[in-house]
Amino acid sequence: MLDVDVDRRLGDFRIQASFAVDEGLTALFGRSGAGKTSIVNMIAGLLKPDRGRIVIADRVLFDSDRRLDLPPHRRRVGYVFQDGRLFPHLTVRRNLAYGRWFAPRRAAYVEFDRIVELLDLGRLLDRRPATLSGGEKQRVAIGRALLPSPRILLMDEPLAALDEGRKQELLPFIERLRDEIRIPIVYVSHSIAEVARLATAVVLVSDGRIEGIGSTADIMSRSDLFPLTGRFEAGALVECTVAGHDAATGLTRLTSPAGELVVPYVRSETGTRLRVRVRARDVMIATERPAGISALNVVPARITGIRTDPPFAEVRLDAGGAVLLSRITSFSVDSLGLVPGREVWAIIKTTAFDHRSLGLAKP
């Protein structure tokens, strides 16, 4: 458990942040300049709060009232920066071994071989950083941060310096860390796609303040937070299970509370649990079951709420217990007679899903 309650003024900018997180991956999410990196730097001991308290489990890292401020090397905090910051003259093996020097013998819980396997570093051990791709460097940096057996792992936009292909290579490894390393992970990002795929909880940061805390599904579907989370990217998360693949069509069938969903081929075995992000702008509404259309995903739903902001409206739907959002025009709301409680059909094109929409669900 991480408890943070800090206050820090940086020129004309003031950070006032109070939140608590547990195991799993918690995203500090917000636009650039919101204060996210400053918050994690205070947790790491790289930036001193003017006032406040920071506690990991039962260990106090900072307490202004008690004038307690542990130095960074005594906090047992792992930190992964945007750039790997590897030692260029050392091999991958020796970069990783450097991290082991900081592991307390009695408190160590991470083994070298396990990290090598978890992050698929075996074939890289004898290479130097200059010969690695950006994604490989970040995997090594993550391994080095974990080998001291930290109480918490901080990741400050670890994908920001990577191109889209390298990001997609690294995301499954971060999912594995989230699911297998039993410590809190605080993940800084301004990418809603990353947060929707990876985070188990979200702390929404804006102008140095915490504007929302909750599960990823709740935060991403709250229409009152759309100005901060991004109205164009608003949507919902649906827990699904891979039901089967069709090699001939290149499609995968998923089962969900909303019914069967058809998506482009997913490289996951039958029975794998996935988290599927359905963007509000990709969901159409029909008052009668449509026929003769190309969309493969047509699910029954009930309207539970409508938020209008002409010329647009966000319609909240209950599809068998799964929450969906639809972003349509306020004109369509009026012309179709849409009101809370009405039974409708939600239509989602299969082409609306891509690799950024599909991620492993936390077991």
In this prediction, residue 262 carries a pLDDT of 94
For residue 289, which amino acid is it?
R
How far is residue 230's CA from residue 207's CA, in Å, rounded to a whole number?
15
Residues 243 and 98 in one domain: no
Instruction: Give me the domain span that covers residue 317.
Output: 236-360
For residue 289, the tally of other CB atoms under 10 A from its CB is 10
Angstrom distances, CA of residue 262 to CA of 47, 155, 242: 48, 33, 10
Q: Which of 228, 244, 262 is the last residue of a domain?
A: 228
In the chain, the number of structural domains is 2
Q: Which of 171, 193, 228 is the last residue of a domain?
A: 228
How far is residue 137's CA from residue 81's CA, in Å, rounded to a whole number?
11
Residues 189 and 329 in one domain: no
How far is residue 194's CA from residue 27's CA, in Å, rounded to a whole number?
9
Residues 353 and 296 in one domain: yes
How far is residue 250's CA from residue 263's CA, in Å, rounded to a whole number?
9
For residue 39, which amino acid is it?
I
Q: Which residue is associated with the tokens 């229409």?
A: 223
DSSP string, 98-136: HHHTTS-TTT----HHHHHHHTT-GGGTTS-GGGS-HHH
For residue 168, which amino acid is it?
Q
Q: Which residue is associated with the tokens 């990577």?
A: 162
Residues 30 and 167 in one domain: yes
Please tell me the pTM assigned to this model: 0.84
How far is residue 99's CA from residue 147's CA, in Å, rounded to a whole number?
5
- Residue 6's DSSP bridge partners are 17, 52
Residues 187 and 295 in one domain: no
How far is residue 319's CA from residue 190's CA, in Å, rounded to a whole number?
29
Residues 297 and 163 in one domain: no
Q: Which of 205, 228, 251 is the last residue of a domain?
A: 228
In this prediction, residue 341 carries a pLDDT of 97
Residues 55 and 125 in one domain: yes
In this prediction, residue 112 carries a pLDDT of 87
Residues 249 and 222 in one domain: no
How far is residue 279's CA from residue 263's CA, in Å, rounded to a whole number?
14
Angstrom distances, CA of residue 198 to CA of 90, 174, 185: 31, 8, 11
Residues 79 and 157 in one domain: yes
Residues 249 and 213 in one domain: no
- Check which CATH number belongs to the domain holding 288 and give it: 2.40.50.100
**Buried (b) or exposed (e) across 63-96, using 16+ Cβ within 10 A?**
bbeeeeebeeeebbbbbbbbebebeeeebbbebb
CA–chain centroid gap for 36, Å, is 14
* Cβ(238)–Cβ(258) below 8 Å: yes
Q: Phi and psi at residue 254, in whole multiples of 5°?
A: -120, 140
- Residue 209's DSSP bridge partners are 16, 206
Three-state SS for 281-329 is HHEEEECCCCCCCCCCEEEEEEEEEEEEECCEEEEEEEECCEEEEEEEE
In this prediction, residue 191 carries a pLDDT of 83
Residues 83 and 187 in one domain: yes
Residue pLDDT tens, the chain, 363 long: 899 999 999 999 999 999 998 888 999 998 888 899 999 999 999 999 999 999 998 899 999 999 999 999 889 999 999 887 899 999 999 999 887 776 666 666 778 898 899 899 999 999 999 999 989 999 999 999 998 889 999 999 998 888 888 888 888 889 888 888 888 999 999 888 888 889 999 999 999 999 889 988 888 777 666 555 555 467 888 889 999 999 899 999 999 998 999 999 988 889 988 888 898 889 999 999 999 999 999 999 999 999 998 899 999 999 999 999 999 999 999 999 999 999 999 999 999 887 767 776 665
Residues 256 and 128 in one domain: no
